[in-house]
Amino acid sequence: MTIRLIDTHTHFDVPEYDEHRMLMTERAHEQGVRHLVLIGFLANYFHQMVKVKSQMADFAKSSHQGIQAHLAFGLHPLYIMEQSDSDLVLLDDFIKKHGSIAIAEIGLDTYPKTLAQPDIFEKQKRFFIEQIHLAKHYDLPILLHIRKAHAQVLQILKDHKYRASIQGGIAHSFSGGEQEALALVKMGFKLGITGQITNPNAKKLRNSVMSVFRRYGTEAFVIETDCPDMMPVPCQHLGAFNEPANLVYVLDELAVMFDMDKENLARQLWRNSNEALCQNWVYE
């Protein structure tokens, strides 16, 4: 059976992977991964993203085990206190110079209580809005990071007329409830599902996924590792450092939940990823 997968959200560029990245690329290729997206979080790491994309391109040329890496620059709300307005200028510069298939990951986060302080939250909102404007200017999808701020994110998206049904977009590592999930999908976003779905105790997530599935079918989802985080339960005995090869466990779990043939689901998720990222990568 031929399975082909797109990892729509990774931090595979972080230096912790440097010694093992090519070995992990081979493992991911063996599991069917053919594309992955390198996601921005701090401007200081943009150069590292570009370097790793180039390394992976060179490896793909010299090996039959290569995976195409794609850049998605953005400023992560979790690190808002480390960010300055000059980082927004740098973000624009990197998009112009290196290209970007999306603006990511962006949004709002009030999970650590310090980020919910009014002045810090206002800065988060300002950076989120500025990055929405950049996405609209360059006609790029946005990949959302939302924790305990779904209502505020939905309101900002409406206020600034971001149309995911036209421009694309993913609610990365979705963690909200059923109503938030349905609202995002109605706006045109795909829900990014991570290895967290393999945890039988993640009842809120599983209920939200099934609620969306009953309303919208498999067209509403994409899959991601969010590596190095979100290790699927079946490989937690290997440690806490996730890798793209483990994306297959997310596919396996969704196939069981949706009672679907795994290859048919993989093909649909591939189509969904193309739609969300405004690409037309060919399923081999």
Per-residue pLDDT of the chain (284 residues; tens, 9 = 90+): 689 999 999 999 999 999 999 999 999 999 999 999 999 999 999 999 999 999 999 999 999 888 999 999 999 999 999 999 999 999 999 999 999 999 999 999 999 999 999 999 999 999 999 999 999 999 999 999 999 999 999 999 999 999 999 999 999 999 889 999 999 999 999 999 999 999 999 999 999 999 999 999 999 999 999 999 999 999 988 887 999 999 999 999 999 999 999 999 999 999 999 999 999 999 98
The reply to whether the predicted model has a pTM over 0.95 is: yes
Nearest to 75 by CA among 145, 16, 7: 145
Alpha carbon of 14 to those of 75, 83, 99, 214, 227: distances in Å? 15, 18, 19, 37, 10
Both structure tokens of 274? 């193309």
Distance from chain centroid for Cα 234: 21
Report cis status (omega within 30 of 0) of the bond before 105. Answer: yes
Task: Tell me the C-alpha distance between 198 and 202, whole Å.
Answer: 8
